[in-house]
Structure 1
Amino acid sequence: MDVCVIGGSRHFGRRLVEELRDAGASVTVVNRGSTPAPPGVTHLRADRDDEGGLLAALGGRRFDAVVDQVCYTPVQAAVAARVFAGRTPRYLLTSTVEVYAHLGRPGGPPLPEQALDLSAEPVDLHLPWGEPEFANSRYAEGKRQAEALLTRSAPFDLVTVRTAHVLGGADFTGRLAHYVERIRRGLPVAVHPAPQRASFVHAPEIARFLARAVTAEFTGPVNAASERPLDVRELCALVGRATGVEPVFTTPAGAPPTPPSPFFFDRCYAMDTTRATRLGFRFSPVTDWLPRAVEEALA
């Protein structure tokens, strides 16, 4: 296959590129060039926000599939729809569990894909999506609007992979490292008075899932997460076992804690992975891979 990956320079995106390459695909990575692409792939330098520059970099290339790792706004989705029209029959948008955040509630059940009604999601291309501060503050909404725009108007078959909170590997977010470091040093971990469960997935496993989705035939949204959601106390208990240090907890009153606790959730919006299982992919339990992710965070 001839596959284009937009982004793919760090974390599980780089693993995805390597998975595709090692499986025999011809891989083209499109990014701004701040990080070299892995050996054995074609590297095109372009800013995906610059439509003219992206068209020029792609030239006449066509692909069997495109994986978009860095689409965060409906404006970026609209550019992708125009640029890749006629260039590919299959487009995978890497999305996020955060698209469900507004639907979560305390004690709520894991949410299936159909819980999010994209037909009712407003899309506003005139908001200041090009301003980083605005886009970052509206991350979940930007992703929902990107999904909605492509679902309604994409000129190709669309798959949206809604990833859980990705842990392990070269994780630039530092979320797991926050808990590992505090527990290792005996510092208290801030937890919500009624901690809510969240979905997690291991970086190598989400890369493998995306690589398999490239060659699959299904379309539409699919949740990608390990089998059992965890609240922050349960997550820290597993970290404590891996580090040999019993976690210490604190429950702040009022405002969110300082320093921020990444999984300080007041609502459950864990994901139901029944569809992924029916499609033939079963994710590993968190207990199988978290010790390895903790070791990586300590390295």
Structure 2
Amino acid sequence: MQKIIVIGGSRYFGRLLVERLHAAGHRVTVVNRGSTPPPPGVEHLVVDRDDEAALRAALDGRTFDAVVDQVCYTPVQAAIAARAFAGRTRRYVMTSTIEVYDPATAALPAAPAGTPVPESAVDPAAWRVAPDLPWHDPAYLEEHYAEGKRQAEAVLTAAGGFAFASVRSAHVLGGGALEFTGRLAHYTGRVLRGEEIAVHAGPLPTVFIHHEELADVLLWAATADFTGPVNACSDGPLDVHGLTAVIASRTGREPRLRTVPAGADASPFSFDRHYAMSNARAKELGFRFSRTADWLPGAVAEALAA
């Protein structure tokens, strides 16, 4: 049994993580702004993580075995957390994203198409941090989501007050209406309505993970002892044609695909650049992933029913 604090944890796989940590017998604390109460038996600290003084006051006298930070998006947030939790936890796990590898958002080494991208492609220890950028501006943050995550990882890597690991999640699906991004619903809705779906010519595959599996990865990461980034994705990359084929098999309707010119915007999971991740490191550390092909039909059925 460990004392584990989750920052965020109010919805989707974050809430599921809290439930599973509690069910596994850990003493769980959730810290968020109070919009959603945690499950019964879980301690709740209502505080804005961006308010350093308030966060320090809420944590006064408390120590933890691990922190799981679900909602760290900027180097400023990471720096506040690093100061607030220094000396209060032995381990800090940040939920990061596949988007850190997107070559459209940073000058990154080109990965050969078909070669899964390893964690070493983005080294947080070597990443430049720019805390003076307008990270407080929601529009700026949305546009620079991937860079915010890269810099947050860099800050926490350099903090030194705890062992740090980041979980770089693939695109998360499953859960029907719980999947708040609406990306799978975008596809199922358009197929059902017979509407066009914009795709690139020769779209490249990406990787996915089921929301329940991601909760399991984060639980494993919270209680493990590895450090550094680890990629989290189910086995079996998939391109937009494969995704819409699964939807077609569940609906009995053929998707209407419209090819867009090079460089034009397309639908959410159509990619003209390669950054599908490798999950080899997580496997070497002991985690076993499911296959995308095994759970995706069920996720599509949930989206259709939502």
Inter-partner Cα distance in structure 2 for 1:26 and 1:220: 25
Q: How far does residue 108 in structure 1 lie from its aligned partner after superposition? A: 4.8
Q: Secondary structure at the match of 1:172?
A: coil
Select the residue among 151, 156, 176 that pairs with 1:150.
Answer: 156
Q: Helix, strand or coil: the match of 1:230?
A: coil
1:25 maps to what in 2?
26
**Paired residue for 2:191, among 158, 163, 183?**
183
**Cα pair 1:29 1:37 within 8 Å, conserved:** yes
Unaligned runs of 5+ in 1: none
For the residue of structure 2 that corresponds to 1:218, the secondary structure is: coil
Contact between 1:106 and 1:266, CA under 8 Å: does it hold in 2?
A: no
Aligned-residue offset at 1:262:
1.1
Following the alignment from structure 1 to structure 2, what is the Cα–Cα distance between the partners of residues 207 and 76? 22
What letter matches 2:63 in structure 1? R
Question: Matches of 1:33 and 1:242 in 2, distance apart?
Answer: 39
1:247 paired residue number: 255
How many angstroms does 1:255 deviate by? 6.1
The answer to whether 1:199 aligns with 2:200 is no
The one-character-per-residue Cα deviations of 1:192-234 (angstroms, maximum 9, x if unpaired) are 1120111100000000111111111211110000111111111
Partner of 2:231: 223
SS at match of 2:222: helix
Does the residue aligned with 1:251 lie in a helix, a strand or coil?
strand
Q: How many residue pairs align between the two structures?
A: 297
Distance 2:288 2:192 in 1: 32
Which shifted more, 243-252 or 61-70? Answer: 243-252
Compute the displacement of 1:279 (Å): 1.4
Could you tell me which residue of structure 2 aligns to residue 294 of structure 1?
300
SS of the residue aligned with 1:268?
Answer: coil
Percent of residue pairs bearing the same amino acid type: 60
- Given the two structures, how large is their TM-score scaled by the length of structure 1? 0.95
One-letter identity of the residue aligned with 1:270: A
**What is the DSSP-based 3-state SS (H/G/I as helix, E as strand, rest coil) of the residue aligned with 1:191?**
strand
Amino acid at match of 2:200: H
Question: Does 2:53 correspond to 1:52?
Answer: yes
Cα deviation for residue 163 of structure 1 reads 0.3
Aligned equivalent of 2:93: 92
Task: Look up the match of 1:174.
Answer: 182
Aligned-residue CA RMSD (Å): 1.4
- Structure 1 segment 125-136 matched on structure 2, within 5 A: 125-136=131-142
Mapped partners of 1:178, 1:54: distance in 2: 38
Match status 1:75 vs 2:41:
no
Cα offset for 1:295?
Answer: 2.0
Runs ≥4 residues deviating over 4 A? none
Q: By how many angstroms is 1:168 displaced?
A: 0.8
Which residue in the other structure is 1:122 paired with? 128
The answer to whether the 8 Å contact 2:75/2:151 transfers is: yes
Equivalent pair of 2:247/2:300 in contact (CA under 8 Å): yes
Contact 2:236-2:293 at 8 Å conserved across structures? no
SS for the counterpart of 2:260 is: coil
Check conservation: 1:108, 1:269, Cα contact below 8 A: no
Q: Which residue of 2 aligns with 1:137?
A: 143
- Superposed CA offset, 1:78-122 (max 9, x none): 001000001000000000000000246672521011111333321
Gaps of 5+ in 2: none
Classify 1:106/1:195 alpha carbon distance in 2 versus 1 (closer, same or farther; 3 Å).
farther
Query: Following the alignment from structure 1 to structure 2, what is the Cα–Cα distance between the partners of residues 221 and 243?
Result: 38
**Would the aligned equivalents of 2:127 and 2:150 in 1 still touch at CA under 8 Å?**
yes
Return the alpha-carbon distance in structure 1 between the equivalents of residues 301 and 153 of structure 2. 35
> Displacement of 1:135 after TM fit?
1.0
CA contact (8 A) 1:20 1:27 kept: yes
Counterpart code for 1:161:
V
Query: Contact 2:111 / 2:117 at 8 angstroms: preserved in 1?
Result: no
